[in-house]
Amino acid sequence: MRRPLVLTVAAAAAALLCAGCSTSDAGSRDEPAAASPPPTSSSGPRSAVRAAVAALREDSAGFRQEIELEGEGQVYGLTVTGGFDFAADRGHLAVDFPGGAIDHSDQVFADGKIYISGVQGIGEDAWGVVPRDKAQTHYLLRAPLNDPEHVLQQIAAMRKISRQGEEKVQGVRTVRYRGILDHRTVTLRMTPDVRTKTDQARDALGSDLPVFADAWVDGRGRLVKTRMSVNLSGARVTLTMALSDIGEPVRVTVPRAADTIPVTKVGGILNG
């Protein structure tokens, strides 16, 4: 009796997430392992992930996010690249849809605000500006205005974490940890309408959505890669973030006040 409803909700989710959408990592197609190796201690893996996230929050890094949506026989990709000084809450990023099907967008984070280029209705040379704490997410497994700090917050909230073994990431030996995200973490800062659809999907399944999270931590305790993924009856979404140049300075150019226009709502697939 549940399956038709699950399929209906999954199809609705795919349509909602799609509308021109998301990007990829080949490894994201792997299904979660049927059984995970037991952690060396009850608190070891969880402590390792949280410590790595906490350390990055006091540092700076370059990053590349790849977001992929697969549904109804099609795959959509989106890339977000930039640098972020997490300790100073300042950064910049560029959002691109491969092939140029959707205009490029730049975003600047500084002084508790997010500046966005390419906002419809405010002119080509103007920047829309919104309070960072008011930004919301419009799609499953997307960050509000692509905020990388939001991704770190979700990764730090992973539950039932296990050590998956050692892997090389960008030539660096790391330990991979896998866990799940609960409903509260998945729906963090979602718009009310998207939260409602996500709640409906959970109710149809009779449990939290099967959202898996992975974190790769190097021998120095640094977070070098993260991934979140969900598969709902063929509608698959994956967000992978690779980190680099940890500790390197991040220069941010804040738009002039004269070039900015306050906006209350920013939509579109590029903006999460």
pLDDT at 128 over 80: yes
pLDDT at 5 over 70: no
pLDDT at 73 over 60: yes
Range 228-252 average pLDDT: 93
pLDDT tens profile 218-231: 999 999 999 999 99
3-state secondary structure 168-211: EECCEEEEEEEEECCHHHHCCCECHHHHHHHHHHHHHHCCCCCE
Q: Are 217 and 174 in contact (CB under 8 A)?
A: yes
**Given pLDDT bands bounded at 50, 70 and 90, which one contains residue 101?**
low
Q: Are 195 and 203 in contact (CB under 8 A)?
A: no
Give the H/E segment covering residue 152.
Answer: helix 148-156
pLDDT tens profile 182-239: 999 999 999 999 999 999 989 998 999 999 999 999 999 999 999 999 998 778 899 9
Range 72-100 average pLDDT: 89
pLDDT tens profile 33-46: 333 333 333 349 99
Q: Looking at residue 156, what is its pLDDT?
A: 97
pLDDT tens profile 135-165: 999 999 999 999 999 999 999 999 999 999 9
pLDDT at 20 over 50: no
